[in-house]
Amino acid sequence: SYVLTQPPSVSVAPGKTARITCGGNNIGSKSVHWYQQKPGQAPVLVIYYDSDRPSGIPERFSGSNSGNTATLTISRVEAGDEADYYCQVWDSSSDHQVFGGGTKLTVL
Amino acid sequence: QVQLVESGGGLVKPGGSLRLSCAASGFTFSDYYMSWIRQAPGKGLEWVSYISSSGSTIYYADSVKGRFTISRDNAKNSLYLQMNSLRAEDTAVYYCARDRGWNSLYGMDVWGQGTTVTVSS
């Protein structure tokens, strides 16, 4: 089955740039989505189709996807960005949705 | 406003059954694929099941295949998850989500608030 690998945690100072990676075999050939989840809340889609932002998501959030790594980039990080972030793809070989293990973003 | 509201969670003994519901409003439910996703306490997101807009195509995670059944009633704007032979490891918050595009091409853009299922004797 297809596996997505994320770092368990990323720390960043306010105002700096956070980068959260999502590794998978030839992930560049898939459509990658990113979700933000704050404690006690449902996930929120922040990036879809590798790099598109849903309405209402700040431009500070961006995404890229190439080769074996997709990346969620959060520029000018704010305290309110502290959350768990999950990447997700559709694995067409198994017809399964797949989530990464999640990355806890800590704003120092 | 676009909304999904889950219900039906609760405490159930191992081997028991439960039926979750997800009521959709604010959008044309019959136009969208839908998914169930769960999150065990302190753990990450785990996809459970997916159903096409017409209900003709259904997929399950290996961990629930043969025990869970997803269905939908487009006339009632509702999604369901029938869970049988429940195990302790099924304990989780269960979310329904609106899936965009075939094979989640554009991600899941609307999520419910979740309903909690606890499997314990």
Per-residue pLDDT of A55-72, as tens digits, reads 999 999 999 999 999 999
**Strands A69-74 and B92-99, how do they pair?**
unpaired
Q: Taking CB atoms and an 8 Å cutoff, what residues of chain B touch A30?
A: none
pLDDT in the model for residue A64: 98
**What whole-number distance in Å separates Cα of residue B27 and Cα of residue B32?**
9
pLDDT in the model for residue B61: 97
Burial letters B40-62, b for 16+ CB under 10 A, else e? eeeeebbbbbbbbbeeeeebbbe
pLDDT above 90: residue A77 = yes
Asked whether the beta carbons of residue B107 and residue A100 sit closer than 8 angstroms, the reply is no
**Strands B10-12 and B18-25, how do they pair?**
unpaired
Token pair of B74 as six digits? 């487009």
Binned at pLDDT 50, 70 and 90, residue A43 comes out as very high
pLDDT in the model for residue A31: 96
**Strands B115-119 and B10-12, how do they pair?**
parallel
Q: What is the DSSP string of A14-65?
A: TTS-EEEEEE-TTGGGS--EEEEE-TTS--EEEEBTTTB--TTS-TTEEEEE
pLDDT above 90: residue A42 = yes
Q: Which of B46, B62, B103 sits opposite A92 (nearest CB)?
A: B103
pLDDT by 10s per residue, chain B, length 121: 999 999 999 999 999 999 999 999 999 999 999 999 999 999 999 999 999 999 999 999 999 999 999 999 999 999 999 999 999 999 999 999 999 988 888 999 999 999 999 999 9
Asked whether the beta carbons of residue A92 and residue B45 sit closer than 8 angstroms, the reply is no
Closest listed residue to residue B96, CA positions, set B66, B70, B118, B75: B70
Q: Taking CB atoms and an 8 Å cutoff, what residues of chain A touch B103?
A: 90, 92, 95
Asked whether the beta carbons of residue A99 and residue B47 sit closer than 8 angstroms, the reply is yes
pLDDT in the model for residue A102: 98
**What is the average per-residue pLDDT within A10-20?**
98
**What whole-number distance in Å separates Cα of residue B61 and Cα of residue A96?**
7
Asked whether the beta carbons of residue A45 and residue B59 sit closer than 8 angstroms, the reply is no
Q: Nearest residue on chain A to B62, judged by CA atoms? A: A96
CB-based contact A74:A60 (threshold 8 Å):
yes
Q: Nearest residue on chain A to B94, judged by CA atoms? A: A42
CB-based contact B70:B80 (threshold 8 Å):
yes
Q: Which of B50, B105, B113 sits opposite A42 (nearest CB)?
A: B113
pLDDT in the model for residue A108: 95
Q: Taking CB atoms and an 8 Å cutoff, what residues of chain A touch B104?
A: 31, 33, 88-90, 97
Token pair of B112 as six digits? 């419910």
Q: Taking CB atoms and an 8 Å cutoff, what residues of chain A touch B112?
A: 42
Q: How far is B17 from chain A (nearest CA, A)?
A: 24
